[in-house]
Structure 1
Amino acid sequence: MKNTTFSIKIFFCFCVVILFSVLVPCGYFLHSIKQESIDLTCEEAFREVSFVRTYIMEEVKKGKFDERETLPETLKNFYSGEEHRVTLIDAEGTVLYDSFAKDISELENHRYHEEVAMAFADGEGSSVRYSSSLGTSFVYAARRVSIPGTSISIIRVAAPLSLVEDHASNRSRALLAGAVAALVFAIAFAAFMSMRFRRSLQLMISSVENLATPGSRSGRISLRTLPGDEFAPLASAVNSMAQRMEVQVNHILAQKAQLDAVLNSIAEGVLVVDHDGCIRSVNATLVRLFPRAAHAEGLQPVEVIPSPDLQKGIESLKHDVPEKPVQFEMDNMSGRKLQVLICPIVGESKLLMAVAVFHDITEMSVLMEMRRDFVANVSHELRTPLTAIMGYAESLKRYVSEPRALHFLEVIDRNSQYMATMVQDLLQLSSIENGAIPMDIKPMPASMAIRGGMDLCRTSAEAKKLEFCEKLDLGDFSIKADAEYLTRVIRNLLENACRYAPEGSQIVISAEPDRESGMAVFRVADSGPGIPPELRVRVFERFYRVEKHRGGQVSTGLGLAICKHIVERHGGCISIEDGPGCIVRFTVPLA
């Protein structure tokens, strides 16, 4: 009955209630009628017993009674019908006479028959049971009597159960006829009321369905058309709802028009998907980037944009909503390079929808490539003249003894050394960015990288009387890294720490595994002046220096940028943590 109308359900409910209300009393009354018929038959049988006793006593008083010779004939004169069975029983239970038996000698002793036993015990008794001698059921009524001059102790009268059933069936038929008539009338009335309710409800449904037509009054319900005043509050509520819905729909349509205008005016492509990962809307820019997105509503993103990374990123949001947007790069069919950011929209701790923004970074990528090539080429070209300057400055020191000239040569040599270091760092950074130098990432002990970096910085530490402290609280463990490049990261961080740590202080290098994330966490901590929180993100930019805040020696500003690119090539991240002094934290994968 899933698709059955409400009025039919009400009709069936009425029918069930009516049937229950009629059949249960009928069953009870039918049972009562049968029991009442049995009780009436028992009363009639006891009256017959009294008649038989009275008649026998009169015959005894006349002196004409002989229970062996005249008893059968006497009872035959008294009772000649065939409906009732009369039985006389002596004190031993022996049958003296039975109106239905041709030969009483064949009858069994009746002493322990139910009604006879009750009569011996209580004076009278009755029962309904099957007679094996006659092959039918009887209603028995027996009474204990005392008739002087006879051996009769029990007079029993039995009526066939068929008489009871006939009597009960006659009354039952009359009862059932009345019940059927009442049932038919009740069902007809229920059908009439259900149809009337259905017409009234259909009027309300039609009016509510018309609410889907904004801007018209077709959804209004006229109070004059209602079948009864009881529908007036509902009609007023529907009319009020129709008015509010019209206002809301117009407001939503205006907002949608504004949103479409904004989305179609921006230069980035926008893709909106629902919580099931199906496309809800796209803007004009995305259609220009991916023409198949013009009719993409209801489809999966991979059906419109052939990018496994996009589909994988959207699917991942269904299981775990990240704290940061999912970001990756891809190419479209025309060769444009795009940067994609997938931002989840969460409500009540579950994903409502997601917005994917496609930035066209083709020109930026070209400019970045040109910049990297320019820096690499310029750095490479500067190495030869810088080498010559340093060589000639070193040679001139041997031939010049005048103090002022020696000072100038020292300045030239120091600045040329600084420029040579910067050029070397630029070349190294360009090689890491371009991926020109492959990394040999394989399992290695974490302690190996730490000790390699400490050995390379031992001279700088001894110059300031600094002490390196290695901490592996959970013991040594394996990581996946390129030994040379990871040692270079630790060396750069230790050189920075040596540059800014107070003389005679301690520099702590620690490492611990984080099994939950599958990464190893390294920390390099010094007790220097630290880095202000607002500058902790920018220190990893190339050429950015914070010496004015830390008061230390001048550096090229490329060391942390090199560390950042090496760590990211390993799949980890690097950051500055809060704490005393400066704490640099970076991660690499566990083996």
Structure 2
Amino acid sequence: MRPLRLFTTVQWKVVVIYMLLILMAMQFIGAYFARQVESYYLNNFSETVNAQASLLATHLEGYLRPRDAKEQSAEEVRQGIDNLINNLVKLNGTNVQVIDSSGTVISTTEDKRILGRRTSQPEVTIALLGTRSESMRIDPRTGDRVKMLVLPVKGDNIVYGAVYMVASMEGTYMTIRKMNGILASGTMIALLLTAGLGVVLARTITTPVKEMTRQARAVADGDFNRNVRVYSEDEIGQLGMAFNHMTRRLKEAILQQEEEREKLASILTNMSDGVIAANRDGQIILLNRSAEEMLQVTMNECVQKGTTLHNLLRLPPEEEMPLYAQNEPLFIEMVLPNKDVLILRVTFTPLQHDSGKKGGIIAVLQDVTEQQRLEQQRREFVANVSHELRTPLTTIKSYVEALLDGAVEEPELSNRFLRVTMSETERMIRLVNDLLQLSRFDSQGVRLHCKDVDANQLLRYAVDRISLFGEQQGVQLSLDIQETLPEVYIDKDAINQVLDNLLSNAIKYTPAGGSVVLRAYANRHQKRVYISIADTGIGIPSRDLKRIFERFYRVDKARSRGQGGTGLGLAIARELVQAHGAEIEITSELNQGTTVTFWVPYAKGGKAG
């Protein structure tokens, strides 16, 4: 019982623990060191074998390359190979065989009986096909571990033979065993020294107390990853266990709090809706990224300036609009610093404390600008279609009633009425065709049939088609091409429709005596042909340029209808140009003129015509 009581003391526990720790450490270090030493020597051995084999294969090319028998006899070749092996192979216990392209052994360092025989080893067969082979195995004769390496001898991508090398690794493993023995001796010495040192250190009972003091300071600094080592189950050990338990619980609580905070921050950051939090005084305390992008402000800026929720959303004062009483979503329209109009749907949610006192307030923002714009476009579209169809139908109805009332008896009057009726019918047909085309674009997309087209001929033909209409309107139409254009890869019918729409628009809105110029030039760096239609017409106000490509949008609606326009020409032109992967843009000055520019891609050859 005496020895058992001895090991219940703190002193001997510390000594035993120190010895076990050193033993375990040395074991881990020894295992790591032994593995590193073994890896080093084996890698060094492999590199040496590879280097010698590669050097031998390089020099053997000259001997194995087919040559005239008069140059060198077979015996001289074999003698040269033997000398080469003796000079290059420096490793002891290495067997080298040289095999020609037919698989016949022509030189060996050990068993001379195999000379002239064909080898059937699969590694040699693989090497004669041009692939090296390397492996470690046990020599069945000696039981030694050996390294086998087979390299093809080739030149100009032709395999002339192979080098078969087997090198014994026992010398290397003997060196490794010696190193391990040295490490084991060092481990024993370290254990003896540790035992003596443990006896000295274990004489004081203050060691665990000091350790707990250091741990308390670390926890106070925020380091929860350290634990107090518990040496025994006495009072000090129990104190250490309680301290470790407290540290773990505190770490778990803090980590849980941080996780919840990170989850909330991640949710707020990645929400598509904007979120604004304000305190009980209405001052901003939080904006997520979406809210910052919508309102073009930053949270730091709002917090530093003490911006209130009313000021940020540009609402009436709290007395006029108490946000805590807002039960329904509020729609707000504001102009941003970049002059864009923003329409928001804002939902307010008040926060209450457990005591029932008023807390802060949360505002959730939804950007409904695009929805409102689409809804407005839908209403305008329906209204425009209704108006465009009602106007010609009313005219046709009026003239048909006049004809039924007796105007048909007057040939001159009836012919005029019928011509008007025909004109209005054609106008409705154009409108319906344009609507059907746009509807087909929306449902099926633009289907193109592209091919290489001569751009010069395309533009000249477009001018010829529209020239008569220009003469009737008193507008001079000209073509300006400074150089011969290359072929372009387009749908010819689609681009012809684009040119017709743009040229007819330019002539319609150019007063008599004005001019319209169709220009084109090639950008050989971008491989594009740029086409522009410039007129000296009435121009477009800057406020209308952003909407000029919208369907049914017209600047001068009265004149457009008088000219027989449907308001869909530019919309169709943009759809057709963009279907080619190209772009179209318009610039204009009021009463100065308008220029519409678009580009089309080069043909695949890209050469000038």
Same fold (TM over 0.5): no
Task: Return the index of the structure with the highest Cα Rg.
Answer: 1
Shorter-normalised TM-score: what interval?
0.3 to 0.5
TM-score by length of 1: 0.35
TM-score by length of 2: 0.34
